[in-house]
Amino acid sequence: MASPYASIAGRQRWTKAVAGTDIQSVEHIYKKRFPIDGMRIATAGSCFAQHIARNLRANGFEVLDKEPGPRGLHGKRAQDFGYNLYSARHGNIYTARRLLQLTQEALGLLEVPERAVVWEKRGRFYDALRSVEPDGLTSPEEVMLHRADHVRRFKALLRETDLFIFTFGLTEAWMHEETGIVYGLAPDDTDPKHRFKNFTFQEVYDDFSGFRALAHQLNPRMKFLVTVSPVPLAATYEDAHVLPATVHSKAILRAVAGQLHSQHDDIDYFPSFDILSTPFLGPSMFADNRRDVTRDGVANAMRIFFEEHKKTEEVVVTGSGDVVCEEALLEAFA
């Protein structure tokens, strides 16, 4: 009797698909679920998602921006204020819970009180849900006015988007104890009003599924493309070595992404994590600190993406350009 594996494609067999290859020569590692040409695209997620948005624009795709910066503000200074990073000025969204809560807030399903989101430091006031004002604002009221405008724009983004790209970043988060509202970054103190949370597989899966359901209420045509950031944790609050804590977190996120992809025809998965975080495709694509993906690593991942999603014969891929990662601030407390 013939083995059921006798007739599988070459891309399904290790000796043909991986053995003897490297990141430059590996083929058919990603197969698109649906075309994205002509779609209005929104991007969000961890800082690695900024590379995706930059390369999509460079290749002529329409990436929406509902909160563009003011005239005269460009480059790194604009990025410091949360502009030109994503399709809305929400900064990095590291967890599916933060994405879900932002969507609930936009639809009027979640009250976000001032006491839960306004942080004060040396007389300046900050939005704890998004790191977009490096110098702070003058009052809690000003923070809440800025937030209301942002939420309104995010709702408009959901209405207009054909493809929502989200990069899962972390399972670890900090939240307001009383309301359960997840912060956009870690607090700088251990006040009892803050609570640490490490999300489980089921929680991450349910949170993204909840986001998808709410997005479809506003916009039934929306499709999704999910990825997992290959960037390791800068630090863990668990009583564990940061390496196994990273593996634990990324394994959950990869499993969630795979489950979503297998269950929903409107969700595609791009294996950026798989490509860059395994030892099977040649030398490491990480810098000497073992956290930052090299420019060549980013460029190679994007090349593989655009082999499936190219608009013209000449594909432009780049790993250049800095990304803004609030989690890097944890290094200051190491």
Mean pLDDT of 276-281: 92
The tokens of 141 are what? 């009221």
pLDDT for res 334:
35
Confidence category of residue 332, pLDDT binned at 50, 70, 90: very low
- Which residue's entry shows tokens 């290749």? 59
- Compute the distance between CA of residue 27 and CA of residue 308 in angstroms, rounded to an integer: 11
Residue 28 lies in a domain: no
Q: pLDDT tens-digit profile of 226-275?
A: 999 999 999 999 999 999 999 999 999 999 999 999 999 999 999 999 99
| 121-124-126 Cα angle (round to 5) | 80
Residue 20 lies in a domain: no
The tokens of 280 are what? 């099977």
pLDDT for res 316:
75
- Compute the distance between CA of residue 99 and CA of residue 93 in angstroms, rounded to an integer: 6
Nearest to 267 by CA among 326, 226, 218: 226
pLDDT for res 325:
58
Residue 94 and residue 173 in contact, taking contact as beta carbons nearer than 8 Å: yes
- Compute the distance between CA of residue 173 and CA of residue 184 in angstroms, rounded to an integer: 8
Residue 124 lies in a domain: yes
pLDDT for res 137:
95
pLDDT for res 333:
32
Residue 50 and residue 320 in contact, taking contact as beta carbons nearer than 8 Å: no
Residue 4 lies in a domain: no
Identity (one letter) of the amino acid at 144?
M
Residue 111 and residue 101 in contact, taking contact as beta carbons nearer than 8 Å: no
Confidence category of residue 313, pLDDT binned at 50, 70, 90: low
Range of the domain at 328: 37-333
pLDDT for res 85:
86
- Compute the distance between CA of residue 310 and CA of residue 36 in angstroms, rounded to an integer: 10
Mean pLDDT of 119-141: 93
Identity (one letter) of the amino acid at 167?
T
Residue 305 lies in a domain: yes
pTM check: above 0.85? yes
Confidence category of residue 315, pLDDT binned at 50, 70, 90: confident
Residue 266 and residue 203 in contact, taking contact as beta carbons nearer than 8 Å: no
- For residue 84, count CB atoms less than 10 angstroms from its CB and return exposed for 0-12, middle for 13-18, buried for 19 or more: buried
The tokens of 32 are what? 């698109």
- Mean pLDDT over each residue of the chain, to the nearest integer: 91
Mean pLDDT of 283-293: 91
Residue 179 lies in a domain: yes
Looking at the chain, the whole-number percentage of residues with pLDDT higher than 90 is: 75
Mean pLDDT of 141-161: 97
Residue 185 and residue 329 in contact, taking contact as beta carbons nearer than 8 Å: yes
Residue 13 lies in a domain: no
Q: Residues 6 or more apart from 220 whose CB is under 8 A from it?
A: none
Identity (one letter) of the amino acid at 78?
A
Mean pLDDT of 270-287: 93
pLDDT for res 321:
58
Residue 299 lies in a domain: yes
Q: Is pLDDT larger for residue 326 or for residue 271?
A: 271
How many domains does the chain divide into? 1
Q: Is pLDDT larger for residue 47 or for residue 330?
A: 47
> Which 8-state DSSP code applies to residue 177?
T
Query: Does the pLDDT of residue 95 top 90, yes or no?
Result: yes
pLDDT for res 319:
60
- Compute the distance between CA of residue 276 and CA of residue 298 in angstroms, rounded to an integer: 8
Residue 201: what are its φ and ψ, rounded to 5°? -55, -50
pLDDT for res 192:
78
Mean pLDDT of 304-321: 78
Confidence category of residue 331, pLDDT binned at 50, 70, 90: very low
Q: pLDDT tens-digit profile of 172-218?
A: 999 999 999 999 988 877 677 999 999 999 999 999 999 999 999 99
- Which residue's entry shows tokens 């798989």? 274
